[in-house]
Structure 1
Amino acid sequence: MTISTEKPRIFGTGLIALDLVIGVDSAAPVHSWTGGTCGNVLTIMGYLGWDAYPIARMNGDPASERVRVDLKKWNVHLDYTDCAPTGHTPIIIQQIKRARDGSPTHRFLWTCPHCGQRLPSYRPVTQNAVEQIIPALSGAAVFFLDRVSRAAISLAAEAARAGAIVIFEPSGKSDEKLFDEALQIAHIVKYSDQRLSDAGGAMIGGRPTLLEIQTLGSQGLRYRHRLAGIPSDWKSLPALAAPLLVDTCGSGDWCTAGLLATAAHKGLQGINEIDEGGLIEALRYGQALAAWNCGFEGARGGMYALEKHEFARQIEAIRAGKPLLHVLERSHSPEASVACPACPREVSAA
């Protein structure tokens, strides 16, 4: 394995899935892209120039192979994507529609629309993977987790000991004990008010949390920090104006990636040196990425639609308060279809 020493490195484990995105035009081809919170964040970090290492249990099924091809497209490293025991890669169907007022809405489907069987769901990496991965964590800047498991906690703890920032982005409290253990390790805790209105008081007692972020959808976010050694009051940042409003899915993942790309490249040492002005700048960059993402279908649709220089130009326009109102799309080939594992081979899951 070859690891670059020039780029900051992020490792992560959690929900890494195949997203099947059905757009407003249901007759258009279904997009199949890497998805899940962890999958999105690490893919975006690769897009932003980091060395990203997802940790997963892909078994070589069609969904996992489609995810691996997509990850490789964005220079994400595949070294730890087939940890034993392997299993089916989760499949999530995202269906985008318009509400009566014309605003975009989306829902997630967890069952195959053809055979009615439940699609493959998330299964965490096991302790079998820990010893293999621990040596690679030395020098990592960030460790990301969005689901708790014994192995995820073990890896996060090792990364923290090696000087990495641990960011915990929970979607719920599936296991209270492991959830609390994650809060005892995490330096950044970020959660949505729509999914988890209370993360359990991330800054109470002797927890190492330096930054707690609660996202508020169209209202922006609020945060508090412990950069000066004691918890600050909650502070709010309104959302930045989006150039277009097509789909909000994945915007929180872009916000996370923007924050990390700006403030976390030197690991824990770097974030301990940041001042409040630097923190606000990092959060605003994350919000600019989130606003930009709203202009495209799917959690990362803009990555496939725009050239990188156009992406940078539009982000700067959003940060300047002058969001561009048009999208210069590039052509791209439709992705190969992926079948539900329970369906006959000739029947597609979407």
Structure 2
Amino acid sequence: MTRSIARPTIFGTGLVALDLVIGMDNEAPVHSWTGGTCGNVLSIMAYLGWDAYPIARMNGDPASERVRIDMGRWGVKLDFTDCAPTGHTPIIIQQIRRARDGSPTHRFLWTCPHCGQRLPSYRPVTQHSIERITPALQGASVFFLDRVSRAALTLAAEASRAGAVVVFEPSGKSEEKLFEEALQIAHVVKYSDQRLAETPAAKGGARATLLEIQTLGSHGLRYRHSLTGELSDWHTLPALPAPALVDTCGSGDWCTAGLLARAASRGLEGLRGCGENELVGALRFGQALAAWNCGFEGARGGMYALEKFEFDRQIDAIASGKPVLRVIERPQDPEASVACPACPPIAS
């Protein structure tokens, strides 16, 4: 394992999947991109200049190889993506459509539209991975998790002891005991009001939580923190105007990545030293990324449509209150098709 000089490092475990994105243009090809909350956040962090290490159980099936190629394109480090026992990489189908009022909507399919079988789902890393990964956590700035398991919590606790900010972004409550333990370990807890109406992470004696964020969709977000030693009131930040509204999928992942890029590069010590203005600036940067992402199909479609310099220019414009979206077509590498593992192979 090698790390770049002077680049902050993030490790993450949770949902790393292959997204098959079916856009509104029925004639357009189906895109196959890395997805899942963890997969998106770590890919975005690599795009923003971090060393990103996903921890997963890819077994070399076509879906996992497609994810590896896609992550490798953005500089994601693949050292810990084959943790034993390996298994099929999750596949998620995203369909983008227009509602009656013309607004974009999306839905996720978890079964194969061809054979009807359930697509491969998430399997957490196991305790077998701990000994191999723990030494690499030294010097990490952030440890991210979006699913709870005994191994994920063990790694999160080790990362915390090594000075990393532990970020927990649950999609729902499962395994109450492990969920509660994750809240006690995490320094940043972020969740959607549509999925978890109330997660009192910042309350309670032994909990480590320094920052709690509740996202409110098009209404923005609200947050509270204990960076000063006492729990603050809730503060609301309205959403920034999106330059275009094509698809909202993945915008929460961009918001997370933007916050971490600005507030967590120096690990837990750096987060603890954030003042209110610095924290708000980091959250607003995350919201600018989220607004920009709405202009593209898929959770990270804009990364494939624009050169990095144009991305930076457009984010600056959104943050300054003058949103602009200018898509510059650039050559796209053909994406390998990926079939459901249960489907019979197609004869060549």
TM-score range (shorter-chain normalised) is over 0.9
Superposition RMSD in Å:
0.9
Q: Contact 2:189/2:201 (CA < 8 Å) preserved in 1? A: no
Instruction: State the partner residue of 1:131.
Output: 131
C-alpha distance in structure 1 between counterparts of 2:66 and 2:128, whole Å: 25
C-alpha distance in structure 1 between counterparts of 2:52 and 2:326, whole Å: 31
Q: Which moved further from structure 2: 4-13 or 304-313?
A: 4-13
Instruction: State the partner residue of 1:33.
Output: 33
1:6 aligns with 2:11: no
What is the Cα deviation at residue 41 of structure 1?
Answer: 0.1
Instruction: State the partner residue of 1:118.
Output: 118
What is the Cα deviation at residue 331 of structure 1?
Answer: 2.8
Q: Which moved further from structure 2: 167-176 or 327-336?
A: 327-336
C-alpha distance in structure 2 between counterparts of 1:203 and 1:82, whole Å: 37
C-alpha distance in structure 2 between counterparts of 1:276 and 1:329, whole Å: 40
Letter paired with 1:92: I
How is 1:36-47 mapped onto 2 (pairs within 5 angstroms)?
36-47=36-47
What is the Cα deviation at residue 201 of structure 1?
Answer: 3.8
C-alpha distance in structure 2 between counterparts of 1:201 and 1:3, whole Å: 33
C-alpha distance in structure 2 between counterparts of 1:142 and 1:266, whole Å: 9
1:229 aligns with 2:201: no
C-alpha distance in structure 2 between counterparts of 1:79 and 1:203, whole Å: 37
C-alpha distance in structure 2 between counterparts of 1:76 and 1:325, whole Å: 26
How is 1:145-224 mapped onto 2 (pairs within 5 angstroms)?
145-224=145-224
What is the Cα deviation at residue 204 of structure 1?
Answer: 2.1
How is 1:97-108 mapped onto 2 (pairs within 5 angstroms)?
97-108=97-108
C-alpha distance in structure 2 between counterparts of 1:244 and 1:69, whole Å: 29
Instruction: State the partner residue of 2:255.
Output: 255
Instruction: State the partner residue of 2:240.
Output: 240
Sequence identity percentage: 77
C-alpha distance in structure 1 between counterparts of 2:346 and 2:198, whole Å: 45
Letter paired with 1:149: S
The one-character-per-residue Cα deviations of 1:16-42 (angstroms, maximum 9, x if unpaired) are: 000000000122100000000000000
Q: Contact 2:202/2:226 (CA < 8 Å) preserved in 1? A: no
C-alpha distance in structure 2 between counterparts of 1:65 and 1:326, whole Å: 32
Q: State the secondary structure of the residue aligned to 1:280.
A: helix
- TM-score normalised according to structure 1 size: 0.98
Q: State the secondary structure of the residue aligned to 1:112.
A: coil
How many residues in Structure 1 have an aligned counterpart in Structure 2?
Answer: 347
Letter paired with 2:51: D
Instruction: State the partner residue of 1:313.
Output: 313
C-alpha distance in structure 1 between counterparts of 2:335 and 2:217, whole Å: 30
How is 1:9-20 mapped onto 2 (pairs within 5 angstroms)?
9-20=9-20
C-alpha distance in structure 1 between counterparts of 2:202 and 2:273, whole Å: 21
Q: State the secondary structure of the residue aligned to 1:10.
A: strand
Q: Contact 1:243/1:326 (CA < 8 Å) preserved in 2? A: no
C-alpha distance in structure 1 between counterparts of 2:204 and 2:29, whole Å: 49
C-alpha distance in structure 2 between counterparts of 1:334 and 1:254, whole Å: 25
C-alpha distance in structure 1 between counterparts of 2:104 and 2:134, whole Å: 43
Letter paired with 2:193: D
What is the Cα deviation at residue 50 of structure 1?
Answer: 0.2
What is the Cα deviation at residue 325 of structure 1?
Answer: 4.1
C-alpha distance in structure 1 between counterparts of 2:250 and 2:193, whole Å: 15
Q: Which moved further from structure 2: 117-126 or 327-336?
A: 327-336
Q: State the secondary structure of the residue aligned to 1:184.
A: helix
Instruction: State the partner residue of 1:85.
Output: 85
1:295 aligns with 2:295: yes
Q: Which moved further from structure 2: 323-332 or 114-123?
A: 323-332
1:266 aligns with 2:266: yes
Q: State the secondary structure of the residue aligned to 2:327.
A: coil
The one-character-per-residue Cα deviations of 1:100-146 (angstroms, maximum 9, x if unpaired) are: 11100000000000000000000000000011000000000000000
Letter paired with 1:119: L
Q: Contact 2:58/2:87 (CA < 8 Å) preserved in 1? A: yes
Letter paired with 1:219: H
Letter paired with 2:21: V
- TM-score normalised according to structure 2 size: 0.98
TM-aligned CA distance change 1:226 to 1:202, over 3 Å: closer
Q: Contact 1:29/1:334 (CA < 8 Å) preserved in 2? A: no
C-alpha distance in structure 2 between counterparts of 1:104 and 1:331, whole Å: 26
C-alpha distance in structure 2 between counterparts of 1:329 and 1:128, whole Å: 45
Q: Contact 1:31/1:334 (CA < 8 Å) preserved in 2? A: no
C-alpha distance in structure 2 between counterparts of 1:122 and 1:80, whole Å: 16
Q: State the secondary structure of the residue aligned to 2:177.
A: helix
What is the Cα deviation at residue 202 of structure 1?
Answer: 3.4
- Which ranges of structure 1 fall in alignment gaps of 5 or more residues? none
Letter paired with 2:281: E
Instruction: State the partner residue of 2:283.
Output: 283
The one-character-per-residue Cα deviations of 1:234-266 (angstroms, maximum 9, x if unpaired) are: 000000000100000000000000000000000
